[in-house]
């Protein structure tokens, strides 16, 4: 029993630590999303990114690159771009760029893995954007797009004000009231999914042995790990998203676990497929369903899943052809990570906690939360899947985290 309590406490601290690592990225992404929703008019967005041409795709990828978002925040900003009139392909380019082409992600990959994985991350991100562009061109879901836009228009109050441009809004109290209200609405939209996702990640990291994951991947044990067949590599690229589905941490926090998989013999393709899978897990699927409806959410899932498998295999055999596939050299694991280190992330968290407090104060002062409650109720009513189970999971996750963190105090 003592061992269980120790693991419970450890799991809760890992969950809290992972969230602390990603907090600034969440806040930044939602802040950018709020600015876009309030300051950028639909006419301007349609003019810049309304047509899925090369210019719009490049703009979407560039905006994603500079946004530096985690997967949850990227979803919110992508929704804002799409709602404002951006084409589906440019919006997907933004989403993929903001989770795969950001600088800090490359730094973490370099620390835990190797330079080949950094190249794979950035080159793979570009290839994923190109694949999404081609996928949408060949399988353009006109009806789904129309329904998704109607859903967004009916459930989100338009902030376009033809009498004010962005300069007037950003210098007025009414403009910041809209920004603050929108920012709080974004957090209230997804905090339950975030809580469940990070709780599960901590539980798996603390309770599940490392060898459990390696047994899932064919070709990781014995002599076959040195020269795995195409079938083994293909299977590992398939199973990577499955593992990510059950160990969701996010585009930043999943890198140590990816290093653990690689250290235990998982191929380059399998590890890259796992890293790319932060946008094909259930919390992300659920959020997309809230935004666009379930049919559109599954369309996006099919596009991303097929793309990441193809791109991972292409990267693997390209590096193999150049004879530069990496070899395991590190032993860093998720469990041993110092989640509360005093580094740039710590100071960014302090900065964005201050920004969040300011925007929350504005929201509270303007008392616009009544409108959002109605909006949240409509979105949850539109989703008829496991509502009570989900609510119970949120409650259980909260009790698990609070109880685990409090164990040393309770026992002492």
- Per-residue pLDDT tens for 80-120? 888 877 888 888 998 999 888 877 677 778 777 888 999 99
Distance CA 171, CA 175 (A): 7
Compute the mean pLDDT over every residue in the chain, rounded to the nearest whole number: 79
Least confident stretch, 202-216, 225-239, 341-355, 397-411? 202-216
Cβ atoms of 183 and 30 within 8 Å: the answer is yes
How large is the average pLDDT for residues 242-253? 67
Distance CA 38, CA 182 (A): 8
Token match 């630590």: residue? 17
Distance CA 409, CA 402 (A): 11
Distance CA 140, CA 136 (A): 5
Count of C-beta atoms within a 10 Å radius of residue 294: 16
pLDDT tens-place string over residues 264-276: 778 899 999 999 9
Distance CA 372, CA 109 (A): 38
Segment holding 218, helix H or strand E: none
pLDDT bin (cut points 50, 70, 90) of residue 149 is: confident
Segment holding 345, helix H or strand E: helix 344-366
pTM over cut 0.75: no
Distance CA 350, CA 342 (A): 11
| Most confident region among 31-40, 105-114, 175-184, 349-358 by mean pLDDT | 349-358
| Most confident region among 43-57, 234-248, 307-321 by mean pLDDT | 307-321
Distance CA 46, CA 306 (A): 28
14 vs 379, residue with greater confidence: 14
Instruction: Indicate if the pLDDT at residue 315 is higher than 60.
Output: yes
Instruction: Indicate if the pLDDT at residue 341 is higher than 60.
Output: yes
pLDDT tens-place string over residues 354-386: 999 999 998 888 865 455 444 444 444 434 445
Instruction: Indicate if the pLDDT at residue 328 is higher than 80.
Output: no
Cβ atoms of 258 and 171 within 8 Å: the answer is no
Distance CA 145, CA 82 (A): 10
Q: Of all residues in the chain, what percent carry a pLDDT higher than 70?
A: 77
328 vs 79, residue with greater confidence: 79
- Please name which of 127, 34, 15 lies closest in space to residue 352, comparing C-alpha atoms: 34
Q: Of all residues in the chain, what percent carry a pLDDT higher than 90?
A: 23
Cβ atoms of 137 and 52 within 8 Å: the answer is yes
* pLDDT value of position 263: 76
């Amino acid at each position: 029993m003592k061992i269980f309590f120790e693991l419970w406490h450890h799991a809760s601290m890992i969950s809290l630590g992972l969230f602390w690592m990603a907090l600034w990225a969440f806040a930044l992404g939602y802040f950018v999303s709020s600015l876009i929703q309030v300051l950028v008019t639909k006419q301007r967005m349609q003019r810049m990114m309304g047509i899925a041409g090369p210019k719009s795709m490049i703009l979407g990828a560039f905006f994603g690159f500079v946004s530096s978002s985690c997967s949850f925040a990227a979803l919110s900003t992508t929704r804002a771009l799409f709602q404002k009139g951006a084409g589906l392909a440019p919006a997907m380019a933004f989403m993929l760029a903001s989770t795969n082409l950001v600088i800090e992600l490359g730094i973490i990959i370099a620390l835990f893995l190797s330079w080949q994985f950094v190249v794979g991350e950035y080159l793979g991100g570009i290839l994923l954007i190109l694949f999404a562009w081609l996928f949408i061109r060949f399988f353009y879901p006109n009806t789904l797009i129309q329904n998704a836009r109607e859903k967004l228009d009916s459930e989100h109050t338009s902030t376009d004000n033809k009498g004010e441009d962005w300069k007037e809004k950003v210098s007025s109290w009414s403009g910041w009231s809209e920004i603050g209200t929108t920012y709080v609405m974004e957090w209230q939209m997804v905090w339950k999914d975030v809580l469940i996702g990070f709780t599960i990640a901590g539980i798996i990291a603390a309770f599940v042995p490392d060898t459990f994951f390696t047994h899932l991947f064919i070709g990781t044990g014995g002599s076959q790990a040195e020269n795995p067949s195409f079938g083994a590599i293909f299977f590992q690229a398939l199973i990577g998203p499955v593992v990510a589905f059950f160990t969701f941490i996010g585009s930043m926090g999943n890198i140590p676990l990816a290093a653990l998989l690689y250290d235990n013999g998982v191929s380059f393709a399998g590890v890259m497929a796992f890293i790319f899978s932060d946008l094909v897990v259930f919390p992300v699927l659920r959020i997309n369903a809230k935004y666009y409806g379930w049919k559109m959410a599954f369309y996006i899932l099919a596009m991303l899943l097929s793309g990441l498998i193809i791109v991972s295999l292409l990267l693997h055999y390209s590096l193999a052809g150049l004879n530069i596939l990496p070899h395991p050299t590190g032993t860093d694991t998720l469990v041993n990570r110092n989640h509360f280190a005093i580094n740039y992330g710590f100071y960014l968290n302090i900065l964005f906690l201050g920004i969040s407090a300011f925007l929350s104060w504005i929201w509270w002062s303007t008392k616009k939360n009544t409108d959002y409650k109605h909006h949240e109720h409509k979105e949850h009513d539109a989703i008829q899947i496991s509502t009570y189970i989900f609510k119970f999971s949120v409650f259980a996750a909260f009790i698990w985290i609070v109880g685990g963190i409090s164990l040393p105090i309770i026992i002492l």
